[in-house]
Amino acid sequence: MVHGRSSGCLINFKKFGAKVISLGTLYESRMSYKNRHVISMKDFSRKEIDYILDTAEKLEPVARGEERSRLLDGKIVALLFFEPSTRTRLSFEVAAQRLGGQVLNLGSVEASSVMKGENLADTIRVISKYADLIVLRHPLDGSARMAAEFASVPIINGGDGSVHHPTQTFLDLYTIRRESHLDDLRIAMAGDLKYGRTVHSLCHALSLYGTEMTFVSPPELKMPSEIVRDLQKNKISIKETDSLEEIIGDIDVLYMTRVQRERFPDPEEYEKVKNKLKITGDLLKNADPNLKILHPLPRVNEISPEVDATPHARYFQQAFYGVPIRMALLALAMGVIE
């Protein structure tokens, strides 16, 4: 049986004939990763997160190609991407291959039976029979949780709508741990805090580390109030502003994000806010010398190219860290590492 914890979901599972079972308490007493879905950061304790980061660190030489591994020999990972992706899809592919596993790629949605009107539930039921694990990216909020109800293999959420992107968060935490520090961290998240799933997931995880958070956005793109309330309930110190200049000297990590054009109901609204925040060489003159800049990528205009050559820029290294993290997640979910 595949396990998952339930939380809020915007999709009606029952419509597709799901038997909705609550498995919320299965992991309270002991850490277990085998056959476990990775849907939301809310499903993981700090101890579990730290264990996954430790596992990734051990796998880093394999991710770099310096050591060889056959841990996933005979295993097949299916990649179902219903939204564009470069890093998430390719780093999962590299992760599986570096561990000796094979990849089954749905390819373009246009070429699949989704175009004939097949629903996600049926697609998941069928791919579960072909592969040992499914990585899913989908534009609908709650789709990964729904897929987990129909899968007979573990589902890893590669991003669903504007809600969750847990594997990105694992790699963001890993980057912060490797390039800065997770304890006593002062982070600013900037850009599209309304629609950005990466920052939504990251906030949940960092609240377990007691991180001081500053949210920088134009008023139209503020962090959703449910998330702010959640963090306040957990006694997390939060500051909100629309100015990078105001906070640049007081942070260890600046997590920049792209304005998510595809999630705006009204394209004119996007045009109004798309260039409101930008990291430039000038802005960085007042930064702490140890400041690290992260970005999940792709970037559009929000970081000027001159920043790339500064020691602050860690976003390309961050993209590499996706490989050991996704190796760890694959190996743990398929039970080849305990």
91 is an interface residue for ligand NCD by CB under 6 A: no
Site string for ligand NCD, 4-43 (x = CB under 6 A): ----------------------------------------
Q: Is 87 a catalytic residue?
A: yes
Nearer to ligand NCD, 194 or 258 (CB): 258
Q: Using the CB atoms, write b or e for 38-70: b if 16+ within 10 Å.
A: bbbbebbeeebbbbbbebbbebbebbeeeeebe
Q: Which two structure tokens, joined as six digits, stand for 136?
A: 């899913």
Q: Pick one of 197, 200, 204, 292: the residue that binds ligand NCD (CB under 6 A).
A: 197
Q: Is 36 a catalytic residue?
A: no
Q: Facing residues of 138 across strands?
A: 160
89 is an interface residue for ligand NCD by CB under 6 A: no
Straight-line distance from the first to the last Cα atom of the chain, in angstroms, rounded to the nearest whole number: 17
* Three-class SS state of 148: helix
Of 42, 87, 181, 274, which residue is the catalytic one? 87
Residues binding ligand NCD: what is the number (CB under 6 A)?
A: 11
Cα–Cα dist 219/331, whole Å: 42
In sequence order, which residues have a C-beta less than 8 Å from that of residue 21 and are 6 or more positions away?
A: none
Of 30, 47, 116, 129, which residue is the catalytic one? 116
Of 3, 5, 37, 165, which residue is the catalytic one? 165
Q: Which two structure tokens, joined as six digits, stand for 96?
A: 């599986």
Angle at 88 between CA 208 and CA 293, to 5 degrees: 55
Q: Pick one of 34, 42, 87, 263: the residue that binds ligand NCD (CB under 6 A).
A: 87
Closest CA to 302 of 280, 326, 335: 280
Instruction: In angstroms, give the least distance from the CB of 15 to ligand NCD.
Output: 26
Q: Facing residues of 292 across strands?
A: 253
263 is an interface residue for ligand NCD by CB under 6 A: no
88 is an interface residue for ligand NCD by CB under 6 A: yes
Nearer to ligand NCD, 121 or 147 (CB): 147
Q: Pick one of 4, 159, 161, 324: the residue that binds ligand NCD (CB under 6 A).
A: 159
Q: Are 125 and 118 in contact (CB under 8 A)?
A: no
Name the residues annotated as catalytic. 87-88, 116, 137, 165
Binding site for ligand NCD (CB under 6 A): 87-88, 159, 165, 168, 197-198, 258, 260, 296-297
